[in-house]
């Protein structure tokens, strides 16, 4: 069989190829081409999984600067890449149905998928940086082309936050190599040449800022609600935006191995910040009246949990954080799409419509199930993540785990309130009777839900991927 | 043999004329002509130095500049024609859309 | 060959999946029969497993589930069958089966008939997972699962039953009902979540102390590893918070009466017989921890005692036929907590068993009455129903006698055991228990007399001149439950009455029993006191009935608004948290604005450079010229300066 080393490279660049192909494909075949490319990418992911990870492929890219092309998909990164491929596929399914003349959107989704897969596969800091920025462009374009009235404001804010963070990251990436004296930017080399002392802390802070923007973590989160609110009503760009919240992954793969002492040193502060983010945003979500903003804050709250898990450096918590990071994409993304379907039917994103469920029982039922997944009801994938994070964090800091735990209550409050006022209660007099799910809409909501339930009940496949990876990363830190 | 300084003086005069043209003329065509004049002024200087040093590097550079100038003429004139079609003017002061 | 344990939750789960995914395959009442059949099959499994129990508890492990949460290993999904869980499985499937059967008739006119049964099946599956779990996290799956089912079923009529009507008044009433039902469902879920947080914190702490969350492993570790008592006490208190949330104990009690917004079979199954007793089950299951934590146990007992009193006081002046029963459930659950708190686990579980029978019976009878009167629930508009519904009247009478603690009915034996245990350890709690017994008999007497005796007062309000007796499908479960409510008590006849404590010794194989040290004469005295309490309460109700003063029970508004607890919570918690949410939103946008203005100020100097970008080509040319001149001038000066 084919050497699995090369599979990640193919998997990364296949969507980009598809995105270019779409530009030259006649209009009536674009949906099929995009769907096919996304499906093949997902298939490649399955092949890598079947082969038990790809192994590291390392080539010189710019030898003069010590930049290598090192990619690997295994463990946590493989799980995240598969979820990314899966949700991109779902987004393409929905875009083909929902957006008139969807060529541009399909191309952007595929282009973004390349960037995201690259982020997960990169094992060289500069390569990581390149893909990190590469994924930004399609998401900015989606906002610029398909966004709503105030999109430019949201766009500038999003770009400014991200680029500011990226600049600090680039500086610390360069610092890590030159202060540590590593021959290349490849992760394996950098791990051999760690920076020590206060310099490590400063470099960590630089790296952390970029990741905190992308997590996002309070107080660098302000771009997120506007970004989601101003994006296209269908929620497709929001799915991709959710996938782009890779801060937790970056911290796990690069920050913990490269800045072990600083991670330990700053642990209490960062855990506090993460727990605060989780509770703070859940509470704000409770007061939102726009579905997109509500989901943005709900997602932010999940990210608070992810950050809490990663920062705690406790094995169980880190596994939980990665589990949550991977699978929250499924239900948060699907919720954005279900909200898009609601908007398609009633032309509004307000959370106080009422009575939708009388007409659209299946849409309401699926949305409710997705909400239950989102608020980490056991039996769904989110629970394994959140429970492990909280349990692990409790071992490190009981009080912070308690603060984050309060989110569990707030989450029930915001989720059920919004659901109730939109889907339950009675239909306002003269309100339209909404159509229930049709055609592919069943798959678009059903598939993510089914996967979320499957991995909530039977976690072994994902756990077998993540557990060894987390163990080996945490071995570098030594402590608990 | 004519001393090198004469060539340089000629080149300097031509260059100054071209520069004055660029700065004072408002018609894009004239600006363009003046730029060409400046390029050729520098060509003269390059050739003169090449001869004076007995080195062919200067002459090579002249060929590069000439090729460039040819390309510039092709593209630049096309742009000017396109602008004229759209705006019905070639006055460079009217074409200030790039104001920051 | 015994059937495997996972069949128990799996069978109803299959029913749920079938009914949810392919509702069109089950036209008419087929869905109801399928769901009932699934529960019946599960009941058969439960009976077989009960009969085939060995000396050692059965543990059947399925697959890996949670990372690192067993002792140095990943936690697996596994089921555990000992005497306690076998008994619970029997109660859940047995009573669940009867209530499913009843619902086929009760819900037959509902548009969402099939979905109702799907949810009921889901509930039973989750409840079985809860009681059969071999680890706390798996128990938590069932724990939140039943909460979810409860949410779905309380909010079953989420849009109100008349909200699509063309009549304006019916529509308005329907809309109001929709909002109330939805709010009740949400309240139940959120209050349960508060308890769930306690449960979770308890698990975290247990893991910190013992390094495992598997219950059998914990039970052995607790003996081997010595940890600070304070830690165990705290863990037990956390678990108590969880139990309080699920069982509607003080201070998280107010959702349970509101939960009556659901259809009556739901109230009977979930909010009386099974789900709300999960808290009692949790504490009994964790008895090995509570035995190490005397203070936490005392807390359990006091929470139970006070809740029993609270529920009884609130039940005195309710007017809704189901609300009276709901507050009674709160109060009876308080008894169970009191029992397990003083270490009388067997008495608590026995009361759970008998309560499941008589309370399910009372709710189903109430449902039959509500049906007969076309959804009228106000007891002041009933009365004299015994003439119209003789069979239901008799079984209701049995239920009232059972809950009032009149011998030979089951409530007498179970309540007597609890009071005896309380007398031994906490005399103050005993007194409270006795008072509650009097109040219980009174409000149940009031319920009985208002509904069944006196003259029929419902005609003006309901327009039903001649209420009809329940149909056969309804009568079968009522009859079986009535028989159970009568006979179940004989399972556990105490020694001084010539019995053998059969139930105690059965359960004792799983849960160690405290030795009975009370002298027979004292026991007699206590028994007489308990009977007297019941009789006095019933006579009190009867005398008030004769005086026609039952419409308004004692304590007036104080009781009918449930001691104002709801108002207090709304003022202290709900309103402020809504306010804070709004304020935080403002702050969040404000933070954003602040950062925005900083960035604008930082960007302002950039405006200076834009002047330069005038857009005039010739101005750019001048800049270039000046720049070139500057560079040349610099080099020229440098050349001149260096003397070259």
- Is the pLDDT confidence value at A480 over 60? no
Say what the pLDDT of residue C506 is: 81
- Is the pLDDT confidence value at C607 over 80? no
Supply C110's token pair.
Answer: 């509902």
User: Which residue matches tokens 């056969």?
Assistant: C472
Cα(C13)–Cα(A169) distance, integer angstroms: 50
Q: Which residues contact B64 (CB under 8 A, 6 or more apart)?
A: none
Q: Give me the percent of chain C exceeding a pLDDT of 90.
A: 28
In a domain, C329, yes or no: yes
Question: What confidence tens digit (pLDDT) does each residue in A292-309 have?
Answer: 888 989 989 999 999 999
Tell me what ipTM this predicted complex has.
Answer: 0.90
Are B31 and C617 within 8 A, CB to CB? yes
Query: Helical H runs in B25-98?
Result: 28-53, 57-87
Mutate to test the interface with C, among A377, A446, A469 (most CBs of C within 10 A): A377
**Residue C322: how many CB atoms within 10 A of its CB?**
25
Is C481:C98 a contact under the CB 8 Å cutoff? Answer: yes
Q: Binning pLDDT at 50, 70 and 90, where does residue B100 land? A: low
Cα(C330)–Cα(C505) distance, integer angstroms: 28
Beta strands in A214-313 (DSSP E): none
Supply C557's token pair.
Answer: 């508004």
Give rounded-to-5 percent helix, strand, coil for chain C: 75, 5, 20
C394 and C349 together in one domain: yes
Q: Give me the percent of chain A exceeding a pLDDT of 70.
A: 99
Q: How far is C193 from chain B (nearest CA, A)?
A: 57
In a domain, C396, yes or no: yes
Is A211:A250 a contact under the CB 8 Å cutoff? Answer: yes
- Partner C, chain B 37-76, Cβ-Cβ below 8 Å: none
Cα(C310)–Cα(C253) distance, integer angstroms: 10
Is C345:C287 a contact under the CB 8 Å cutoff? Answer: yes
Say what the pLDDT of residue C548 is: 79
C436 and C518 together in one domain: yes
User: Which residue matches tokens 């009422």?
Assistant: A354
Say what the pLDDT of residue A2 is: 61
Cα(A460)–Cα(A73) distance, integer angstroms: 19
Cα(A87)–Cα(A120) distance, integer angstroms: 15
Q: Binning pLDDT at 50, 70 and 90, where does residue C130 land? A: very high
* Set of chain B residues whose Cβ sits within 8 Å of the Cβ of C623: none
DSSP type of residue B55:
-
Look at residues A106, A144, A128, A122 and name the one whose alpha carbon lies nearest to residue A27. Answer: A106
In a domain, C269, yes or no: no
Question: What confidence tens digit (pLDDT) does each residue in A228-255 have?
Answer: 888 888 888 888 888 888 888 988 988 8
First to last CA, chain A: 41
Supply C269's token pair.
Answer: 């199954």
Q: How far is C609 from chain B (nearest CA, A)?
A: 8
Look at residues C12, C120, C17 and name the one whose alpha carbon lies nearest to residue C25. Answer: C17
Residue of A nearest to C197 (CA): A405
Of A383-387, B67-71, C503-507, where does mean pLDDT reach its minimum? C503-507
First to last CA, chain C: 110
Are C581 and A286 within 8 A, CB to CB? yes
User: Which residue matches tokens 């899966």?
Assistant: A86
C427 and C343 together in one domain: yes
C575 and C520 together in one domain: no
C422 and C533 together in one domain: yes
Supply A440's token pair.
Answer: 């592919």
Q: Binning pLDDT at 50, 70 and 90, where does residue C89 land? A: very high
Look at residues A449, A413, A409, A428 and name the one whose alpha carbon lies nearest to residue A358. Answer: A428
In a domain, C244, yes or no: no
**Residue C629: how many CB atoms within 10 A of its CB?**
11
Cα(C312)–Cα(C563) distance, integer angstroms: 11
C533 and C414 together in one domain: yes
Mutate to test the interface with A, among C127, C581, C583 (most CBs of A within 10 A): C581
Q: How far is B92 from chain C (nearest CA, A)?
A: 7
Cα(C457)–Cα(C137) distance, integer angstroms: 52
Is C512:C284 a contact under the CB 8 Å cutoff? Answer: no
C316 and C399 together in one domain: yes
- Is the pLDDT confidence value at C188 over 50? yes
* Set of chain A residues whose Cβ sits within 8 Å of the Cβ of C144: 377-379
C389 and C448 together in one domain: yes
Question: What confidence tens digit (pLDDT) does each residue in A79-122 have?
Answer: 999 999 999 999 988 888 888 888 888 888 899 999 999 999 99
Task: Kindly report the pTM of this predicted structure.
Answer: 0.86
Q: Three-state DSSP class for A249?
A: helix
Are C614 and B99 within 8 A, CB to CB? yes
* Set of chain C residues whose Cβ sits within 8 Å of the Cβ of A358: 159, 163-164
**Residue C91: how many CB atoms within 10 A of its CB?**
22
Are A416 and C151 within 8 A, CB to CB? yes
Query: Helical H runs in C155-268?
Result: 168-210, 215-224, 229-247, 255-258, 264-268
Of A206-220, C34-48, C526-540, C565-579, where does mean pLDDT reach its minimum? C565-579
Range of the domain at C349: 293-560
Q: How far is C607 from chain B (nearest CA, A)?
A: 9
Of A40-44, A232-236, A325-329, A430-434, where does mean pLDDT reach its minimum? A430-434
Look at residues C386, C401, C399 and name the one whose alpha carbon lies nearest to residue C360. Answer: C399
Cα(A159)–Cα(A140) distance, integer angstroms: 8
In a domain, C604, yes or no: yes
User: Which residue matches tokens 């081997």?
Assistant: C224
| Total structural domains within chain C | 3
How many angstroms separate the Cα of C260 from the Cα of each of A62, C309, C324, C366, C478?
71, 20, 10, 12, 20
Cα(C544)–Cα(C541) distance, integer angstroms: 5
Q: Binning pLDDT at 50, 70 and 90, where does residue B18 land? A: very high
Pairing status of strand C58-70 against strand C73-81 = antiparallel
* C577 at interface of A, judged by CB pairs closer than 8 A: yes
Question: What confidence tens digit (pLDDT) does each residue in C470-526 have?
Answer: 888 888 999 999 998 888 888 888 777 777 777 887 887 888 776 666 777 888 888
Supply A343's token pair.
Answer: 């908007």
DSSP type of residue C227:
-
Which chains does chain B touch, 3 or more C-beta pairs < 8 A?
Answer: C
Q: Give me the percent of chain C exceeding a pLDDT of 70.
A: 97
Q: Give the DSSP H or E segment for C366.
A: helix C345-372
Give rounded-to-5 percent helix, strand, coil for chain A: 75, 5, 20
In a domain, C65, yes or no: no
The gap from C-alpha A100 to its chain's centroid, in whole angstroms, comes to: 27
Prior bond of C408 cis (ω within 30°): yes
C631 and C602 together in one domain: no
Query: What's the number of CA atoms in the CB half-sphere (13 Å) around residue A66?
Result: 16
> What angle (nearest 5°) sits at the alpha carbon of residue A240, between those of residues A125 and A95?
145
Q: Which residues contact A190 (CB under 8 A, 6 or more apart)?
A: A125, A176, A177, A180, A182, A184, A258
B95 phi/psi in degrees, rounded to 5: -100, 70
Which of C525, C560, C595 terminates a domain? The answer is: C560
**Residue C296: how many CB atoms within 10 A of its CB?**
24
Cα(C190)–Cα(A408) distance, integer angstroms: 9
Is A328:A385 a contact under the CB 8 Å cutoff? Answer: yes
Q: Which residues contact A120 (CB under 8 A, 6 or more apart)?
A: A73, A77, A78, A80, A81, A84, A246, A249
* Set of chain B residues whose Cβ sits within 8 Å of the Cβ of C619: none
**Residue C237: how many CB atoms within 10 A of its CB?**
18
Q: Binning pLDDT at 50, 70 and 90, where does residue C99 land? A: very high
* Average pLDDT estimate for A359-368: 86
In a domain, C607, yes or no: yes
Are B96 and C609 within 8 A, CB to CB? no
> What angle (nearest 5°) sits at the alpha carbon of residue C102, between those of residues C100 and C108?
95
Q: Three-state DSSP class for A67?
A: strand
Cα(A41)–Cα(A47) distance, integer angstroms: 10
In a domain, C93, yes or no: no
Count of residues in chain C: 644
Is C429:C342 a contact under the CB 8 Å cutoff? Answer: yes
**Residue C6: how many CB atoms within 10 A of its CB?**
18
Average pLDDT, chain C: 86
Average pLDDT, chain A: 87
* B95 at interface of C, judged by CB pairs closer than 8 A: yes
Say what the pLDDT of residue C405 is: 87
C643 and C569 together in one domain: no
Are A427 and C164 within 8 A, CB to CB? yes
Q: Binning pLDDT at 50, 70 and 90, where does residue A478 land? A: low
Q: How far is A307 from chain C (nearest CA, A)?
A: 18
Question: What confidence tens digit (pLDDT) does each residue in C226-255 have?
Answer: 777 888 899 999 999 999 989 988 888 888
How many angstroms separate the Cα of A58 from the Cα of each of A70, A188, A238?
4, 10, 33
The DSSP secondary structure of B83-98, one letter per residue, reads HHHHHS--BGGG--TT
C444 and C484 together in one domain: yes
Supply A53's token pair.
Answer: 């990870």
Question: What confidence tens digit (pLDDT) does each residue in C409-468 have?
Answer: 888 888 888 888 888 888 899 999 999 999 999 999 989 988 888 888 877 777 777 788
Is C216:C285 a contact under the CB 8 Å cutoff? Answer: no
β-strand partners of A71: A57, A122
β-strand partners of C425: none
Say what the pLDDT of residue C16 is: 92
* Burial track A147-175 (b if 16+ CB lie within 10 A, e otherwise): beeebeebbebbbbbbeebbebbbebbbb
C514 and C574 together in one domain: no
Which of C522, C539, C560 terminates a domain? The answer is: C560
Cα(C68)–Cα(C65) distance, integer angstroms: 9
């Amino acid at each position: 069989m084919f050497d699995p080393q090369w599979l990640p490279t193919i998997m990364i660049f296949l969507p980009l190829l598809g995105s270019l192909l779409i530009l030259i494909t006649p209009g009536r075949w674009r949906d099929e081409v995009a769907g096919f490319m996304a499906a093949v990418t997902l298939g490649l992911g399955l092949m890598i999984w079947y082969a038990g990870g790809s192994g590291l492929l390392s080539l010189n890219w710019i030898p003069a600067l010590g930049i290598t092309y090192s990619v690997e998909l295994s463990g946590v990164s493989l799980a995240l890449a598969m979820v990314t491929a899966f949700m991109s596929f779902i987004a393409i399914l929905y875009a083909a149905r929902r957006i008139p003349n969807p060529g541009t959107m399909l191309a952007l989704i595929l282009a973004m998928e390349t960037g995201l897969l690259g982020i997960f596969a990169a094992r060289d800091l500069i390569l990581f940086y390149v893909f990190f920025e590469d994924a930004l462009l399609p998401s900015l374009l989606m906002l610029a082309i398909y966004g709503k009235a105030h999109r430019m404001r949201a766009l500038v804010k999003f770009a400014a936050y991200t680029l500011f963070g990226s600049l600090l990251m680039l500086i610390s990436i360069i610092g890590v190599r030159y202060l540590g004296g590593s021959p290349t930017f490849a992760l394996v080399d950098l791990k051999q040449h760690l920076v020590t002392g206060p310099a490590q802390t400063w470099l960590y802070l630089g790296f952390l800022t970029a990741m905190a923007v992308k997590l996002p973590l309070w107080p660098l989160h302000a771009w997120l609600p506007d970004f989601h609110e101003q994006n296209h009503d269908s929620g497709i760009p929001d799915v991709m935006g959710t996938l782009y919240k890779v801060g937790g992954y970056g911290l796990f793969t690069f920050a913990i191995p490269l800045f072990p002492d600083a991670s330990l040193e700053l642990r209490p502060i960062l855990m506090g910040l993460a727990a605060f983010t989780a509770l703070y945003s859940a509470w704000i979500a409770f007061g939102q009246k726009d579905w997109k903003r509500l989901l943005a804050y709900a997602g932010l709250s999940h990210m608070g949990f992810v950050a809490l898990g990663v920062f705690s450096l406790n094995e169980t918590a880190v596994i939980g954080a990665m589990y949550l990071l991977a699978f929250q994409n499924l239900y948060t993304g699907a919720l954005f799409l279900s909200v898009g379907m609601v908007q398609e039917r009633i032309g509004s994103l307000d959370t106080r419509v009422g009575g939708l469920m009388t007409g659209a029982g299946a849409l309401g039922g699926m949305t409710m199930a997705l909400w239950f997944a989102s608020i980490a009801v056991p039996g769904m994938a989110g629970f394994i993540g959140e429970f492990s994070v909280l349990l692990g964090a409790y071992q490190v800091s009981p009080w912070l785990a308690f603060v984050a735990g309060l989110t569990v209550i707030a989450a029930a409050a915001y989720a059920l309130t919004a659901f109730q006022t939109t889907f339950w209660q009675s239909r306002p007099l003269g309100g339209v009777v909404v159509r229930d799910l049709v055609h592919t809409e069943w798959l678009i909501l059903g598939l993510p839900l089914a996967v979320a339930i499957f991995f909530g009940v039977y976690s072994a496949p994902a756990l077998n991927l993540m557990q060894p990876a987390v163990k080996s990363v945490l071995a570098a830190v030594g402590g608990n | 043999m004519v001393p090198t300084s004469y060539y340089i003086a000629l080149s300097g005069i031509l260059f100054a004329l071209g520069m004055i043209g660029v700065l004072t003329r408002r018609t894009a065509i004239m600006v363009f002509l003046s730029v060409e004049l400046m390029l050729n002024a520098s060509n003269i200087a390059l050739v003169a130095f090449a001869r004076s040093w007995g080195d062919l590097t200067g002459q090579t550079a002249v060929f590069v500049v000439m090729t460039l100038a040819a390309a510039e003429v092709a593209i630049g004139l096309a742009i000017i024609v396109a602008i004229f079609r759209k705006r019905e003017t070639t006055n460079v002061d009217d074409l200030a859309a790039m104001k920051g | 060959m015994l059937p495997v344990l996972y069949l128990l939750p799996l069978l109803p789960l299959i029913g749920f999946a079938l009914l949810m995914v392919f509702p069109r395959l089950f036209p008419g009442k087929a869905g109801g029969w399928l769901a009932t059949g699934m529960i019946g099959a599960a009941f058969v499994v439960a009976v077989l497993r009960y009969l085939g129990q060995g000396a050692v508890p059965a543990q059947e492990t399925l697959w890996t589930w949670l990372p690192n949460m067993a002792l140095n290993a990943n936690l697996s999904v596994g089921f555990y069958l000992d005497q306690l869980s076998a008994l619970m499985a029997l109660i859940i499937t047995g009573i669940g089966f009867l209530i499913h059967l009843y619902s086929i008739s009760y819900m037959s006119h509902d548009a969402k008939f099939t979905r109702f049964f799907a949810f009921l099946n889901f509930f039973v599956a989750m409840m079985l997972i809860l009681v059969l779990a071999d680890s706390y996290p798996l128990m938590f799956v069932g724990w939140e699962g039943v909460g979810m089912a409860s949410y779905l079923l309380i909010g079953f009529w989420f849009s109100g039953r008349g909200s699509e009507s063309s009549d304006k008044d019916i529509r308005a009433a329907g809309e109001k009902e929709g909002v109330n039902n939805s709010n009740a469902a949400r309240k139940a879920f959120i209050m349960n979540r508060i308890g769930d947080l306690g449960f979770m914190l308890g698990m975290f702490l247990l893991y910190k102390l013992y390094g495992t969350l598997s219950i059998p492993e914990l039970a052995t570790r607790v003996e081997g590893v010595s940890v600070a008592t304070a830690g165990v006490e705290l863990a037990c208190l956390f678990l108590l918070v969880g139990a309080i949330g699920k069982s509607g104990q003080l201070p998280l009690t107010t959702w349970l009466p509101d939960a009556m917004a659901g259809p009556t079979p739901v109230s009977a199954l979930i909010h009386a017989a099974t789900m709300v007793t999960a808290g009692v089950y949790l504490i009994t299951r964790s008895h090995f921890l509570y035995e190490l934590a005397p203070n936490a146990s005392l807390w359990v007992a006091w929470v139970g005692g006070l809740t029993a009193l609270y529920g009884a006081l609130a039940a005195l002046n309710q007017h809704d036929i189901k609300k009276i029963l709901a507050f009674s459930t709160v109060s009876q659950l308080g008894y169970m907590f009191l029992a397990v708190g003083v270490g009388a686990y067997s008495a608590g579980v026995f009361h759970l068993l008998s309560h499941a029978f008589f309370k399910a019976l009372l709710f189903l009878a109430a449902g039959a009455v509500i049906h007969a009167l076309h959804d009228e629930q106000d007891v002041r508009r009933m009365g004299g129903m015994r003439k119209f519904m003789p069979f239901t009247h008799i079984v209701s009478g049995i239920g009232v006698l059972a809950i009032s603690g009149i011998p030979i009915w089951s409530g007498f034996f179970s309540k007597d055991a609890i009071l005896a245990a309380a007398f031994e350890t906490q005399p103050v709690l005993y007194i409270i228990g006795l008072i509650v017994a009097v109040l219980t008999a009174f409000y149940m007497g009031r319920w009985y007399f208002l509904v069944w005796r006196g003259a029929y007062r419902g005609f003006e309000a309901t327009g039903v001149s001649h209420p009809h007796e329940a149909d056969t499908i309804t009568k079968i479960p009522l009859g079986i439950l009535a028989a159970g409510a009568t006979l179940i008590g004989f399972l556990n006849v105490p020694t001084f009455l010539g019995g053998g404590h059969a139930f105690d010794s059965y359960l004792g194989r799983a849960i160690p029993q405290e030795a009975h040290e009370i002298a027979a004469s004292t026991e007699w005295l206590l028994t007489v006191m308990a009977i007297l309490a019941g009789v006095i309460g019933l006579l009190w109700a009867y005398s008030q009935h004769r005086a026609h003063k039952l419409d308004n029970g004692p304590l007036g508004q104080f009781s009918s608004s449930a001691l104002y607890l709801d108002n207090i919570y709304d003022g202290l918690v709900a309103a402020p948290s809504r306010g804070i949410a709004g304020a935080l939103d403002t702050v969040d946008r404000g933070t954003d604005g602040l950062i925005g203005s900083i960035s604008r100020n930082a960007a302002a100097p950039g405006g200076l450079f834009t002047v330069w970008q005038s857009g005039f080509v010739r101005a750019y040319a001048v800049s270039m010229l000046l720049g070139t001149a500057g560079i040349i001038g610099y080099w020229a000066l440098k050349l001149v300066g260096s003397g070259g």
